[in-house]
Amino acid sequence: MKHVILPFTLLLTVFALAGCDQKQKTEETAEAPEAAVEAMEQAVSDAAPAEQEKPSMVFSQTKSMTAKVVEVDQESRVVTLEGENGNLVTFVASEDVRNLAQVEAGDLLTIEAVENVVIELVDGEGMEAGVGEVVASARAEEGEKPGAAMMSKSVEVFMVEEINLENNTYKLKNVDGMVEEFVARNPENLKLGKVGDSVVVTVTEALAIAVTELPQE
């Protein structure tokens, strides 16, 4: 499962689609994945105290960017933005985008994306390979300037199938039963694990988009 912070052009596409009402769909489908995520997190919490010395890693990154609205054609719904480097991006806002009428030339589009990845090696007793994800979103009310917020959290559990200290490699099994071999970055970490342990990868991603009036100088 590969998670990457969205590039600027794709974020603009997200902005164009931000008016789509995803909240209802999320509420209808998130219950089962959310329960799976909570169950996995509880299993990790229960397993962690038994093996305090097992390694873990945390990766975080935040990206923010702004763009100025150069032109908005309300009839054709064509929007032109100027990025921080002066580059111009033009796109057509879909009919699902509400509140476009509140967008004016000179407004400021602000986008912030956050990604946090936690990788933990825990005792695998009572655990099995699995995956779960929950997604939530919200958007601005009608009559306000466009804005949206989205967050997703996924938990994926891999089972340790083999550890080879001599070759500095280990094998993990995913939820589909596929086994893949990896090379350890830190050979000392292999000594802290054993066959039957679990590698838990938790990825949290958040994206916030807002259109505001450009502050008067």
Q: Mean pLDDT across the stretch 109-114?
A: 93
pLDDT tens per residue across span 171-217: 999 999 999 999 998 888 889 999 999 999 999 999 999 999 877 66
By the 10 Å C-beta count (0-12 exposed, 13-18 middle, 19+ buried), 70 is classed as middle
Q: Where are the beta strands (DSSP E) in 104-186?
A: 108-122, 130-139, 147-164, 169-173, 179-183
- Cβ within 8 Å of residue 60, ≥6 positions away: 114, 115, 116, 117
For the ranges 136-140, 149-153, 213-217, which has the lowest average pLDDT?
Answer: 213-217
Residue 45: the pLDDT is 52
Structure tokens, 151: 């967050």
Give 69 or 98, the one with higher predicted confidence: 69
Scanning the chain, the segments in alpha helix (DSSP H) are: 8-17, 23-29, 31-47, 187-190
Structure tokens at 105: 């030339």
Residue-level pLDDT at 96: 75
Whole-number Å distance between alpha carbons of 67 and 81: 6
Predicted TM-score of the model (pTM) = 0.69
Written as six digits, the tokens of 47 are 């397993």
Confidence class of residue 140 from pLDDT cuts 50, 70 and 90?
A: confident
